[in-house]
Structure 1
């Protein structure tokens, strides 16, 4: 059974979300503040975490930074605040996705499933000697094992960053729109916010080199062949 860590300070929303997720077959551990959420995480690492941004004692941005320092588990942030700054801060801290309140439970479940699929896809492959490797300067991408190296050293990418890079590596030199990347990487068929793409591209650039992924204004991004 999938273990979900839910950190939400609104007691009514926390209880309603927990009951709804359990109805969908998830095992849910709930916490009312950031420190309690961190303690629950360290007691047993969950399969996925759903965190509110505005939390007492330790806010969601601070919490996701601590979780990301210790684990690569998928993290989904939720918030009633729609200011782009809040969204970007959460994603730059290490969240894989975010959802604006109020949200429908089926949408939350779909986002959780998508995050878990990305994590599973990243984790199930082990390096193999005969795997195809694509090279882009000092960057090598093994498209079968999903191992990424820069200057011969393995890169520590999150599942979402890895999947994003693989999409670029599959079509080097081809411009991929933000909408296309949302559909392929985040499994969104509609309604996704392209700021998610922009922030993850920025994080990926910081790891593989800023000149490796190029912006094509008005269209999207491409990987320099």
Structure 2
């Protein structure tokens, strides 16, 4: 059944892997990390242990590159049975620093879409991660002027979105969220009676994966590129 967007007044956008490249840099960092620890474990085992460490640290560190870097250090120490040379620890820290210094690479059509939609709708940015890093990327992106409000959330669950919409005095029926993650950008919005559009990115963190059971019966649409959004709203 076709979804009616005629009541939409505010459109929210995710940032990482919706407006600009992000997850690709994490995959590159994981490969570099596995090479550094190749003397202690297989690449597959290293990937598994790093992911477990990241998930275990989420309640303490949250999301973002700094949290990822701390998890890499902890994981490396454990896999090496605490024999890791200081020089290798320094190399791991440099992996994180290099990630933080990456250029902001906008995805195709992003600025064009934001420019057109900002003439008709109030746009907000709703992302999660490290506040300082997200502010840095937004500043480098040159997209700040298109957004009426910018929010860096500690997580993206039903309660986080409800609190945000309530704070901004936005009725869920008038709100549309656009993002690459079904888990973080789509399903929570559907759950609180807002609308959401999924724009998949070719790399997805395992933690953001959802099952068919979780999406079953949920009403949302998927588009191939952000430009397709202009045909819908």
Q: TM-score normalised to the size of structure 2?
A: 0.30
TM-score, normalization by structure 1: 0.31
Asked which structure has the greater CA Rg, the reply is 2
Per residue, is there more strand in 1 or in 2? 1
User: By percentage of residues, which structure has more helix?
Assistant: 2
Q: Which has the higher contact order (CA 8 A, sep 6+)?
A: 2
